[in-house]
Structure 1
Amino acid sequence: MMAPERYPLFITGSNQLEAVVQNELKEVLQIMSLSSIAVLYRWKLHAGKEEAFKEAWTSVSEQLIQRGSLGSRLHRAADGLWYSYAAWPSIAHRDEAFNREPLDARALKVMSESIAQSYPEVVMEPVADLLL
């Protein structure tokens, strides 16, 4: 339980705290949108392996969030490909996350076995950001 003397505005539900939190959140979002990069991944999956891939991708992506990723999304497109993009504070942060101790070997194996064809990743720098 939080100590009232340490978080007095939070506990009282003060509008002042709400304003402070909103301002800090705006600053964080501006920093993320202006200094982050995104990496786009594309795959064609083997038929019947989609659910296993999705579960393995989720496991690996959750590990990467713990290593500094700003999050990721996985999409299935009308063209039959699966797309994922992950946001990172920088290329250096991304490289460090992948160069640390190995990620979940089982999940990586499932992903690899699910992929019929993999396409080169695309590193993207945001130039405008209206994503909520």
Structure 2
Amino acid sequence: MMRSLLETPLAAPHSLGFGAMLLKLCGALALVILLILALAWLTRRAGWARPQAQDAPLLRVMQSQTLGQRERVVVLEVQDRWLLLGVTPGNVTLLSEIARQRDAAETRALPAGAFQQALRNALRKKGRAG
């Protein structure tokens, strides 16, 4: 006594309740978002997302000197100019503009005393120190 396929009751395709379908949908969405975040993290860690023009940066920190706990003076190179900046937690002030004098390799090798002397000279020209 075999029953034919037409006589056997089939499960309805929408037998899941609304809550169960919503839970499945949220789970799938969370999985896709986690996959995207994992791929973004992986590309950053592997270095694939870095820009290609690293050879010639537009802005370069040439020298930095700490003046207090949270104050410092920074020399930045922008194109063919050096900018002497005073940096505090709430403010960045342009102290002086200096024409480029040395190559970057020579500047990094300057001792701290030479930087301090250049800073004093720049501030005297600006009329801020005496």
Structure index of larger Rg: 2
Instruction: Kindly indicate whether structure 1 or structure 2 has the higher relative contact order, using CA contacts under 8 Å at least 6 residues apart.
Output: 1
Q: What TM-score do you get using the length of structure 1 for normalisation?
A: 0.27
Normalised to the residue count of structure 2, the TM-score between the two structures is 0.27
